[in-house]
Amino acid sequence: MNFLPRFRLILPVMLAALLGAQAAPAAPRDDLLAPVCTGAFGDQMAALQSIARYGVEGGGDAAAWALRVVEAFDGRALRCGADAAFIETGDALLSAATLEPVSAAEAGELSSPSVNLRLRAVSASAAGLLTLMTAPDPAAREAALKVVSKRREAVTADLLERIAAAEADPGLKQAVSELHASMLLNDPDPQNRIQAIRAIGQTASQRNLSLLTQAMSAEKDPQVAAEAQSVIAGIERTLAAGKLMSVLYSGMSYASILFLAALGLAVIFGLMGVINLAQGELIMIGAYSTWLVQEGLRAAAPGLLDYYLILAIPVSFAASAAVGIAMEALIIRRLYTRPLMTLLATWAISLLLINTVRVVFGSQNLEFHQPGYVSGGVQVLGDFIMTMNRLFAIGIAVVAFVAVLWLLRRTMFGLNIRAVTQNREMAGAAGIDTRRIDWMTFGLGSGLAGLAGLALSPLYNVNPNMGANFIVDSFMVVVLGGVGSLLGAVLAALGIGQINVVIEPVYGAVAAKVLVLLLIIGFIQWRPEGLFAPKGRR
Amino acid sequence: MDKVETAAGDQALQVDGLRVAFGDFVAIPNLSFLVNFGEVHGVIGPNGAGKTTLLDAITGKTRPAEGRILLDRHTDLLALDEPKRALAGVGRKFQKPSVFEALSVRENLELALRLRPRSILGELRSWSDPRRKARADEVLEEIGLAARADTPAGALAHGQKQWLEIGMLLMQRPKLLMLDEPVAGMTATETAHTAELIRRLRSPERAILVIEHDMDFVEEIADRVTVLHGGDPIFEGRMADARADARVREVYLGR
Amino acid sequence: MSDARVHHPGLFRATAGAIAVIAVALPILGGVMGGISPYFANIIGQIATFALLAVALDLIWGYAGILSLGHGLFFAMGGYLIAMHLLKAGFEFSGITPDFMIFMGWSEFPGFWAGLEHFPYALALIVLLPGALALVYGFVSFRSRVSGVYFAIITQALTYIAMLLMFRNDTGFGGNNGMTGFAEVLGQPIGAPSVVIGLATVSVLLLLAGFLFAGWLTGTSFGRLLIAIRDDEARLRFLGYETLWPKLAIWSLSAVLAALAGALYVPQVGIINPRLLSPDLSIEIAVWVALGGRGALSGAVIGAVIISALKFWLSGFAPDLWPFILAGVVLVVVVVLPNGLLDLRGLLRQHPALGNILSEKRNG
């Protein structure tokens, strides 16, 4: 038999190879682990960093192993034996290198490695890095990224590059890249630094601006400094534009609420010459109705809770309209020829409403749940985020504007309103039921205020006294815009809203109001009837 | 009734190319006419013909888009504000009686006299001036309200309020006296009384412009009439001729 | 208001008489004879200042037809000025730093406080500053014929903004703590019973003076001019009167009276804070006048007294009830008694049984 001798040779070699193959992966891990147990403090630190590197570079299984080890160290579950490290989990003992269970006897005598704060910082950093690499859930990765940004002890630029490349989620990818870039900013090679600057400059944000400014202050190389300078200037321009848009946007949302409130006022004043000092409270009722819808849904149909804002649209309108109609029917109808008395009466009603609400609901601010569709926003430019809650307010105002315009121009009801506004007696003689028009119009004006209350509930505080904040401005809108003019109300609301929002952060809310008032007083000198005078003889 | 021959007196009021518009609505496109001193001039026309707008333009309540209004040949009314036009000699009686209801008849009349047109303080100090009381007494006689001198004006009957208002205008001896529907809502007796009052008011120093619907009334008191339609003067002349004019009949009288 | 002027000479005399009696009784009963506690006298004094404030508003609203819903601004101006005087005078005299200064972190008063420790100067400012503000604001508004409801709204806005301004600490008037810590007035300790009664008596006397003055003024030809302005300003202009100046005159006078009232109010409550500037308070003044009956000064006094007394009484044991009562009162007055309580006489006369009794009393 000739092949037997060959077999005799091959077998040991194969065995050795098999054994060697099994042993080969273990050996590097053992080498990595050793200094953690036996080394001096500096070596321990280096070892942790190496383990992290090993994990990131190896990926997959290696990374999982590295994470396990580092977490064990961080959690004080690592144990050091004579020549190997172990992990203690509850009542079992695992080999740190293989993660296989071993018996206590095999492990022998164990001690804990020395751990200090510094080392824990490193292990935390390493853990973060590895979690960033391996965790399946993006939220967990995001959290890990936060850790890594703060604790850089185990982090190097090339590791980050690797992780960024492997990252699937685009947002996270960008964030990791930015972190990578900021590390690169400290790279010894000027070309790399320039690259990093350009990369960071892609995203215009306040954070990147300070990052670059900081880097530039320490920069010695003129070429790099120049690059940083120009990129910084670009970011600043974008940020400024974003800020401007943000201000305008805020102004628009405030103007939307003002518009809704003032529209109701203008409708009522235009028709009946009634100045409704209770308009602010009708807004408040709208807001409270919205809250009640929310609470009702919470109790009866929690699954629909998110839709409370939508459901509240008709409810807030109806609630305020109902109160308004009651006001009109019970009290105001008796006072039509005496505008100054109606002023006092509506003030008394406002007092009544505020205190009734206070007694029933208490004086505290109401809590509003933020459904998904009014949370967050769309990033538009620089730091300007177009928030959804403001968009909601603007949307409601636009819809209301269109609806009222259609109502006034295209329906019989609207025609009747306009007729009675211009000449009550003639309209009555023409067969229009002026009484009905009166209370329906009052209801419309009040309902609009209710919508204002709905629109502002995601934005402003809701409490019994909230009406006062809007009433003065609403009056200014009516005075400025001219009575009975829809377009005037829009323009006036926009103007006043924008001025308020622009001046407020710089000089304060009071200065804003003072300025608006002075402007209006000045404007009235020139055009006492407001932007758009009512047509026809009054 | 007796009619005074229209004297060829000086022009008291001259309206030239008047145009008044409210936004898109043109109330008066192009109006020119004259009123002479010593004359009673009627302005008639259907509702919306622009009669009241004309008075508004003359007294200053409305600004015309174009045109010229001269008082007594040399006073450009459009350059003055309302109080100054009144002081220049324009007196207007409104359609709705607008007397000061809270004040007595006498107080209303005394208030209407401006002895010191340049200063209100001076005016108030002259309140006790005997001339004021004397003039008020005169006018009280003229309008026939001497017996009610101390009644609050708000307590007067409708017709009496109209006379009081005319009386207030008389206090100032206006050069141009404009009466906007002076007999609106009056009984037959009151109307007759008013016609007589207006006839008595005729004077060479005064021109009287009367806006009215009541045709018979206008015929009694007016020397000449202008017929307005849509702000356009379609006839000017004697009332009797107006009734005969074809255009006027078609537009207004309907018979 | 197209009602005939409600002329109640009897009521006017009665009211003036009542005020005079109180003015005399206070020092006697409060000081020498006892019977009125300083606390009670203090309340009377406060109510007297409110009544004066109501008279000030009735002058412009009841007689010239100008409604101001921001008269609290002038009231508060007088109050702040007198407070500044009291603090400065007290500091100069005793050297003790008032709480207000400690709160503001000052070691000495700012420059514009100079001279305020002298009462005549302070008094002059109390008359001149609100008057000047009223002149300016009135001129600007009346000239452009801003009137009626628009005017009222803008006065509201003005006082609201002043309130916001004063709530800020860096405006320099104590922020929402206001100014307090008055030690003495005209050299006398402010808490002493005799001073309390003295202040109350002065308030009542000032009310009497203001009331009589207003009564005289409205009876003159100027008063008649104002009534004409109220009832038909357009007509008056067509009669050749420039109505700007009479309105401006009465408006400024009203502001000064309100400021004087405020200057007496603040020492009696011992504090001034920006809440005095709140629009609600200014509207309440109009409520006083409307309740009592505007255009007949007694009505203003009566309305102010009734409502303030009610508020004081209720705040003792049911402060939460007050807004409801106030609102109820206003609604009743406005709907049922358009001319305020003065209408009550007319209404009663219409009632068959009572009416006969009343007429009998007059005739028999």
Burial class (CB in 10 A: 0-12, 13-18, 19+), A449: buried
Nearest chain B residue to A536 by CA: give it: B22
Contacts of residue C225, defined as CB under 8 A and 6 or more positions apart, other chains included, come to: B111, B120, B124, C236, C241, C246
Alpha-carbon distance A259 to nearest alpha carbon in chain B (angstroms): 26
Nearest chain B residue to A534 by CA: give it: B23
- Please report the number of interchain residue pairs, chain B to chain C, with beta-carbon separation below 8 angstroms: 78
Predicted local confidence at residue C360, as pLDDT: 47
Q: How far apart are CA B111 and CA B136, in angstroms?
A: 10
For residue A193, what are its two tokens?
């630094």
Segment B90-99 mean pLDDT: 84
pLDDT tens per residue across span C257-284: 999 999 999 999 988 989 999 888 999 9
pLDDT tens per residue across span A116-134: 888 888 888 888 888 887 8
* C187-196 contact pairs (CB < 8 A, 24+): C187/C93, C190/C86, C190/C267, C190/C270, C193/C30, C193/C31, C193/C38, C194/C31, C196/C38, C196/C41, C196/C42, C196/C45, C196/C268
Q: B152 and C4 in contact by Cβ < 8 A?
A: yes
Q: C240 and B94 in contact by Cβ < 8 A?
A: no
Residue B208 has pLDDT above 50, yes or no: yes
Nearest chain C residue to B85 by CA: give it: C240
Residue A38 has pLDDT above 80, yes or no: no
Residue ranges per domain, chain A?
4-183, 261-466
Over pLDDT 90: what percentage of chain A? 11
Q: C239 and B112 in contact by Cβ < 8 A?
A: yes
DSSP for A372-409 reads: GGGSSEEEEETTEEEEHHHHHHHHHHHHHHHHHHHHHH
Q: C153 and A479 in contact by Cβ < 8 A?
A: yes
Q: How far apart are CA A98 and CA A86, in angstroms?
A: 9
Predicted local confidence at residue C356, as pLDDT: 56
DSSP for A294-335 reads: HHHHHHH-GGGGGGHHHHHHHHHHHHHHHHHHHHHHHTGGGG
Segment C116-142 mean pLDDT: 90
Residue C2 has pLDDT above 50, yes or no: no
Nearest chain A residue to C163 by CA: give it: A510
Predicted local confidence at residue A23, as pLDDT: 44
CA-only gyration radius of chain A, Å: 36
pLDDT tens per residue across span A416-465: 887 877 777 777 788 888 888 888 889 999 999 999 999 988 888 899 98
Nearest chain A residue to B22 by CA: give it: A536
pLDDT tens per residue across span A210-245: 778 877 777 778 888 888 888 888 888 888 888 888
Strands B40-44 and B90-93 turn out to be unpaired
Q: How far apart are CA C290 and CA A344, in angstroms?
A: 9
- Say which of C164, C168, C327 has its CB closest to residue A513: C164
Q: B101 and C231 in contact by Cβ < 8 A?
A: yes
Residue C55: pLDDT band (50, 70, 90) is: very high
Residue C256 has pLDDT above 90, yes or no: yes
For residue A64, what are its two tokens?
């999982």
Residue A373 has pLDDT above 60, yes or no: yes
The answer to whether A418 and A404 have CB atoms below 8 angstroms apart is no
DSSP for C239-286 reads: TT--THHHHHHHHHHHHHHHHHHHHHHHHHHTEE-GGGG-HHHHHHHH
For A377, phi then psi, to 5°, come to -170, 180
CA-only gyration radius of chain B, Å: 18
Interface-testing mutation among C284, C334, C339, with chain A (most A C-beta atoms within 10 A): C334
Interface-testing mutation among A347, A519, A531, with chain C (most C C-beta atoms within 10 A): A347
Residue B9: pLDDT band (50, 70, 90) is: low
Predicted local confidence at residue B254, as pLDDT: 52
In the three-class reduction of DSSP (H, G, I as helix; E, B as strand; rest coil), residue C185 is classed as: strand
Q: In the CATH scheme, what is the homologous superfamily, with its name and number, of domain B11-253? A: P-loop containing nucleotide triphosphate hydrolases (3.40.50.300)
What is the pTM for the complete model shown? 0.74
Residue ranges per domain, chain B?
11-253
B186: left (phi over 0), alpha (psi -120 to 50) or beta: beta
Bridge partners, B225 (sequence order): B42, B237
Interface-testing mutation among A422, A532, A537, with chain B (most B C-beta atoms within 10 A): A537
- Say which of A273, A475, A510 has its CB closest to residue C153: A475
Predicted local confidence at residue A529, as pLDDT: 64
Predicted local confidence at residue A175, as pLDDT: 79
Of A494, A470, A479, the C-alpha closest to A270 is A479
**Residue B114 one-letter amino acid:** R
Q: B59 and C238 in contact by Cβ < 8 A?
A: yes
Set of chain C residues whose Cβ sits within 8 Å of the Cβ of B122: none
Buried-exposed string A201-210: b where 16+ CB fall within 10 A, e elsewhere: bebbbeebbe
The answer to whether C79 and C130 have CB atoms below 8 angstroms apart is no
Predicted local confidence at residue C362, as pLDDT: 43
Alpha-carbon distance C221 to nearest alpha carbon in chain B (angstroms): 6
DSSP C68: -
Q: Is A525 on the interface with C (CB under 8 A)?
A: yes
Dihedral (CA of A444, A447, A449, A451) sign: negative
Residue A353 has pLDDT above 90, yes or no: yes
pLDDT tens per residue across span C281-306: 999 999 899 888 888 888 899 999 99
CA-only gyration radius of chain C, Å: 21
Stronger pLDDT, A486 or A255, i.e. the higher one: A255
Strands B90-93 and B176-180 turn out to be parallel
Stronger pLDDT, A20 or C324, i.e. the higher one: C324
Predicted local confidence at residue A493, as pLDDT: 86
Q: How far apart are CA A432 and CA C164, in angstroms?
A: 46
Residue ranges per domain, chain C?
9-301
Set of chain A residues whose Cβ sits within 8 Å of the Cβ of C165: 510, 514
